Amino acid sequence: MTVTIKKLLIGATAAASMSAIASTPAFATNLTKPSKIQFTTNGVNNTDANKPNINTWTYGSAQSDNTGIGGVNRQVLNDTKNSGNIDKAIAALTDNDSATNVELFTNGEVVTDHVGFSANLGRNTVKVESVTKDDWADATLATSWLKGFGNAYSGLLSSIPTTAGSNMLKDFNTNFGFLVTTLSSTGFNSAGDPNIGGIALSQIDKHTGKLKLDLVGHLDVAGKYVDTRATIVDTRPTIKDTVATIVDTRATIVDTQATIKDTRATIVDTQATIIDTRATIKDTVATIIDTKPTIVKNNKTIPNPTYNKPIPNPTYNKLIPNPTFNQPIPNPTFNQPIPNPTYNKPIPNPTYNKPIPNPTYNKPIPNPTYNKPIPNPTYNKDIPNPNYLAKSSDFARNSTGNVIFDGILLKLAQTAVTTNTPFQVSEIAKVTFNNQVDYAFGFSATDSGAIAGDRNKTNDTTSHTGIYSWSKNYKTVPEPSGIFGLVAVGGLVIASRRKRLKNA
């Protein structure tokens, strides 16, 4: 919708210009683009041998992208590696397309040099530069910038309650002097490296001209202060298992031990009888009773003098046939503990490979994967962003260092996201027109129809999507009326770019 509105505005501007030619003097329709552009660093001219600290974003091969803010199909600024390239920078500043742009000062976030360009606008001169800490020192910039910020966001600030009976707008106004003092001392370095999309001068009357400067930035800067992603893609293939114990839900388990160690030192002998396997035994009887009543002596039978008396046993301590060989006999250790022959040795496990009752069933047991990586069940899927609406990774480099104002920026960004209200703040350029110094900035942007090709697509959906147009009327040095001519406002060029975007 924004792109359509821009087309209508461009068409209306062109129509108005054509109508004005027929009814007003030539100076009323003159739009002057910069000429004789010279890049400088701290007032010293840059050359190919002394390249300026700049970079340029423009179009290379036709490419479109709808992954930016709002899902709008935008043309990609994919020609981005132009560090120090003066020719590319001049082309971007004079091509009638505000989306192509030049960043002034690209080395880091703390702007230490006035990097910019000077140019002629007809008989007038203009210089556009980066903003350093020194530019804030006299409080002029700090006062005007803070007033602009407060006016732009007074409604949103007043809707944010703070202490009882107060709101953020009241706190802002109460601390206004302190904020001016702080910014005058510290500056706002993250805003001092502006991206310049174009500059032109239109003659209002014979002695007054309107200078217009387009700053390229973010259509919504909330992402610079808070994480605006409600969900993120989980890129962790594994996660650490933090569960120390789990409940064992197995009623039975399979016994996988083929053998077990016999820990019984003794066992109870349960055999009442045993088989006597001794073929012979040692005769332990030293004497026997003589049972013969008579004996033969000298071929005569006579009474036995040792009859029924003990006499020496002729087989004493000798092996004799065992009368119970291979027969059951009473077990002398029946029902008594005896040494276990397999004590401390592996024996066959009677429950091997069979289900047995699980001794830890329904009880907590140590988790075998505790503190180890396990497959992540949400890998490569959208999950709630735990950092949603918390400080973004860019917060520090986009803050001011003032606790009160940085708190305002954070809360304002959070509120803007939750209320679906764009949070728009431009970068700042130092503008010197015919020796008069001003600072260009804004708090309202239109869609550029483009997007940076070198942005981080993981967390940046807004780079180079916003055009912040700043303008101011100045006393000018008019051109002789005889050489005035209509300079095209760039509608045909923009229409051509839109056609490329549509066909990309």
**Residue 435: partners with Cβ closer than 8 Å, 6 or more residues away:** 125
Distance CA(442)–CA(416), nearest Å, equals: 17
Q: Evaluate if residue 485 carries a pLDDT over 60.
A: no
With 0-12 / 13-18 / 19 or more C-beta atoms within 10 angstroms meaning exposed / middle / buried, residue 284 is: exposed
The confidence band for 227, taking pLDDT boundaries of 50, 70 and 90, is: very high
pLDDT score for 156? 93
pLDDT score for 498? 45
Q: In percent, how much of the chain has pLDDT > 70?
A: 89
For residues 402 and 143, is the Cβ–Cβ distance under 8 A? no
- In Å, how far are 79, 134, 179, 242 from 403, measured between CA atoms? 39, 21, 10, 37
Which whole number is the average pLDDT over 487-500? 42
Q: Evaluate if residue 486 carries a pLDDT over 90.
A: no
Closest CA to 156 of 411, 337, 491, 362: 411
Distance CA(142)–CA(469), nearest Å, equals: 20
Q: Evaluate if residue 302 carries a pLDDT over 50.
A: yes
Distance CA(130)–CA(115), nearest Å, equals: 5
Q: Sketch the domain layout of the chain as residue ranges.
A: 26-228+403-503, 247-367
The confidence band for 481, taking pLDDT boundaries of 50, 70 and 90, is: low
Residue-wise pLDDT for 2-56, tens only, equals 333 333 233 333 333 333 333 333 333 478 999 999 999 999 999 989 999 999 9
Q: Which pTM was predicted?
A: 0.69
For residues 426 and 215, is the Cβ–Cβ distance under 8 A? yes
Q: Evaluate if residue 383 carries a pLDDT over 70.
A: yes
**Residue 266: partners with Cβ closer than 8 Å, 6 or more residues away:** 337, 338, 339, 340
Joined together, the tokens standing for residue 197 give 């999309």
Q: What is the mean pLDDT of the chain?
A: 87
Which whole number is the average pLDDT over 95-101? 96
The confidence band for 283, taking pLDDT boundaries of 50, 70 and 90, is: confident
Residue-wise pLDDT for 160-218, tens only, equals 999 878 999 999 999 999 999 999 998 887 899 999 999 999 999 999 999 999 999 99
For residues 77 and 62, is the Cβ–Cβ distance under 8 A? no
